[in-house]
Amino acid sequence: GQQLNQSPQSMFIQEGEDVSMNCTSSSIFNTWLWYKQDPGEGPVLLIALYKAGELTSNGRLTAQFGITRKDSFLNISASIPSDVGIYFCAGQRGGTSYGKLTFGQGTILTVHP
């Protein structure tokens, strides 16, 4: 099946620092999404990207849909303690596979005050 390689696996940063994480795939996705998961909870959608090259912001978060449609990155600027959690990228192929998301392995973010 399709695999998403997400990196880094974990990050330990100081409050106020910027964070960058990315996902790559060997195959094309029509939609890229970034989710955050807090302990014991379900993933929560942060940003959705629909077009190659698209750059979208949501507050301190910025994500881009790669030109090749095989990659995406997420940046978090000026991190705060509540940014702690696991961040997942997810790709959707489209066609008849709506809602069938392929998730990356996740990036565990720790923010030290």
The residues that touch another protein, with contacts defined as CB under 8 A, are: 1, 31, 33, 35, 40-45, 48, 50, 88, 90, 92, 94, 96-106
CB of 60 to another protein, least distance (A): 20
CB of 26 to another protein, least distance (A): 16
Pairing of strands 10-14, 107-112: parallel
Nearer to another protein, 31 or 64 (CB): 31
Nearer to another protein, 81 or 98 (CB): 98
Half-sphere exposure of 13 (CA within 13 A, CB side): 23
**Secondary structure (3-state) at 81:** helix
CB of 13 to another protein, least distance (A): 21
**Secondary structure (3-state) at 40:** coil
Nearer to another protein, 77 or 103 (CB): 103
Rounded distance between C-alpha atoms, residue 103 and residue 91, angstroms: 7
CB of 15 to another protein, least distance (A): 26
Nearer to another protein, 73 or 87 (CB): 87
